[in-house]
A and B are shown apart, each in its own frame.
Chain A
Amino acid sequence: MRTAPALAEMCLKCNICTSACPVMAVSDEFLGPKAVGPQAERFRHPRAHVPNASVSWCSGCGVCSRVCPHGVPVTELNIQAKGKLAEQNGAPLRDQLLARPALLARFAGPVAPLANAALQARPARYLAEAVFGISRSAPMPRFARKTFRDLEASRQTEAPRPSARPAVAYFHGCSVNHYEPGLGQLAVRVLDRLGFDVWLPPQGCCGLPLQSNGLFEAARGYARTNLRGLAPFAAAGTPILGTSTSCTLALKHEYGAILGMEEEACEIVAGAVFDFFEFLRDSVPQPLDPGSLQPVPMRVVYHPPCQLKSHAIGLPAYDILRRVPGLEITLSDSECCGVAGTYGLKRERYAVARAVGETLFDQVRETAPDAVVTDSETCRWWIQGLSGVTAFHPMQILALALGLEENSPRMRRPDVPR
């Protein structure tokens, strides 16, 4: 396989990435994916300083790699350059914290009511902004008092257990484990209804937040833990499903392409990982046919997260939700909602991230839907907080259509300090 820097030579400077970059469209600080990527690459040397810090404005949304007609891994080049910057200049404590959601939650979870009250309180958010540089305006999720793994402890296993029904392994990620255990439990119920046994392999944070913040060595540590935990399942042919599109992209692609993991397990695990809806669409023998689904009379805007689009599997949740009777779906026109994981939470990036999202927020205002539907948790919290419209995971809509939820699902709104 050719490395990212070698593939930079394939760049013809056609500017297709430049015109697709959502950050560049709203900010002059960012010189653009082509300029800081393949173009700057020729001035980079493994032992030299990164010549221009503009690359730090890259949010890592991945659109540039996806639209490049010549196969230049533009995002990968830029994330590596960001890693180099962090190594060179040191990552601020704020980035170190944001990059470890599991660690944060370990302290905050047991005192969830207190921690959540603090996240809601304006003075605390001013303090967090002043001391750490975490934007006081960015919507934040609530910590759950009990983790998903604790709630579903009986499903934890280090290797696939014999079972009569086909089995799947669930990579729940930090967001389900620490913030939205209910969503994970719903995923388990949906899979159970569709005839699958669900196991929880040993796992931790996927490491993507660390990687996005340039903390590669720490991210590799997380990656190793996950590869160790998931490899027995992958080797046994058990599909590994995720409801978080960014975690699954890390497992499928970024461990190898960005972190450079050389473990044999890396490739085996990558091949066994599926987005939740990708699996339902492509691998469930009995397709969810419209006749077996209950009507869900709602009008929604579906926003496919950037990280999902980077899977190159199309829009599987959209494909499945289109079968739900009564559900009226408008497809988002926006390349990115802006938050890009932890990017929008940072004081100095918040305004740019918000501006990136304006195209989507405008569309939501014009469409006035009952809800926004999007797969990624950070997109969901961000969109809900900034557009004021409830945002669901597509699985919550599917659960309604399967009759697993009686009433309209109600997620708690993330707390936006006013």
Chain B
Amino acid sequence: MTDLVIVGAGLAGLLAANLAARRGASVTIVAQGRGSLSLSHGCIGLGSLPASDLAPEHPYHRAGKHRLKPAVDFFLEAAHAQGVKYLGTTDSVVRLPTAAGSVLSLHFVPATLAPGDLSHPGRTLVAGIQGFRDFDPSLVAAGLRARGVDAGSAELPHPGPPPTRDWYSTDIAARFERSWSAKEVGRLWRPSLDSAGRLGLPAVLGLTAQDRILSALEEALGITLFEIPTLPPSLPGLRLERALRRAALAAGCRLLEGSAAIGRIDGRSGGARTLGVSAVTPAGPRTVEAGATLLATGGVLNGGWRAERSGRLHESVFDLPIAGPENRQAWIGPSLFDPHPYDRYGLSVNVNMQPCDRDGRPFFPNVFACGGILGGADRRREQNRQGIDIVTAYAAVEAALS
């Protein structure tokens, strides 16, 4: 028997686990693999719109925007305690280049990414590393130039023999941690720096030692350095995922990794309450009895809800209905980069973060939801995906344990 079972191990699920453990609850996380947090840029966006512009059913309103500050503070503390430092404030944004040549506005960013803010003066050199094909510096530099930043690009050599297979960002990170010295790299790179005022590199400066490696390189090169998140594996996302998972385990949370969850309803209560979930483990289903269940399963792309050909939309653990038109054509926008109605689909919750039917009645008193499974927001356009994860996790844990 566990106080709280959390389904999902992305930003919302892992943060909720840490929050609940901090409040003294026993926590079990059931996760089908690692969340897409480890594929992400690892930054925290709180959104560009004022709260008054958001619909009343928006997750920010449900969770209570006054919870944003304590929720973010808790997040920062948890990440810092695991050696992942963030910089930023809740009321200003950092504008960072992406590997695809675009720019994101974010509120909290890892310290190694922060100097990439577009407002920095001086010439920026964006550099790739020879043999690493997942990062195109010229694409990034072109994107920066289009936004008025004086930027150039280069491919820098690396110490040691050339790769004998494709290098992933993690392979280079391991080399920075184990074999390439800052001195050696500095000697190789210095001739290519010209008059650059700062150097942007793909985020490959180690999995755990990024701060130390970055300052050693800065010292060796005599220039400001920053990381730019790459295609997956994305180190800033991996570092954050790892930090929150380690913190949860160290706080005593139980993690059932690699198993799907099926909700269990208490028959004796006439279907009024839930008993927890069945975890589908390699040995078959094993029961995880819990006082409360928190759904942190993500949106449709993360498996939190599913769409059937019949047009039925349903949540994937308790099979709760998701409101949406039966006509499948109505789910998607006219073209790929348009807004899509399905972006806003998801569970609708009350202020206690309990999933509710269309009349606003909770399906179960002891089921709660947070993060991407919640409907009512277009996270991509609002740029508040992480803000929603963090504040709804905070509100849901508060409600589930009260």
Contacts and interface: CB of A to CB of B under 8 A. Distances in A.
Interface centre among B32, B34, B238 (most CB of A within 10 A): B34
B284 A267 contact: yes
B33 A16 contact: yes
Contacts of B38: 16, 19
- Majority secondary structure, B binding face: mixed
B242 to A, nearest CB: 8
Interface in A216-270: 249, 252-253, 257, 267, 270
Given A311-B282, A313-B281, A66 B233 contact: no
B28 A314 contact: yes
B257 interface: yes
Interface residues of A, number: 39
A19 B283 contact: no
B148 interface: no
A18 B36 CA distance: 14
A67 B165 contact: no
Contact of A19 (B233, B246, B250): B233
Contacts of B171: 24-25, 28
B282 A15 contact: no
B130 interface: no
Given A16-B39, A331-B250, A313 B256 contact: yes
B258 A310 contact: yes
A314 B257 CA distance: 7
A249 B283 CA distance: 8
A189 interface: no
13 contacts: A16-B34, A16-B233, A24-B171, A25-B171, A25-B174, A69-B303, A252-B281, A270-B283, A270-B284, A311-B282, A312-B257, A312-B281, A313-B281
A252 B286 CA distance: 12
A312 B258 contact: yes
Contacts of A25: 170-171, 174
B284 A66 contact: no
Nearest to B26: A319
A315 B174 CA distance: 27
Contacts of A188: none
A20 B34 contact: yes
Contacts of A249: 282
B279 interface: yes
Contact of A253 (B164, B246, B283): B283
Contacts of A44: none
A51 to B, nearest CB: 15
A67 B258 contact: yes
Interface in B259-314: 259-260, 279, 281-284, 286, 302-303
A26 B286 CA distance: 35
Interface in A4-20: 14-16, 18-20
Contact of B174 (A20, A26, A267): A26
Contacts of A257: 282
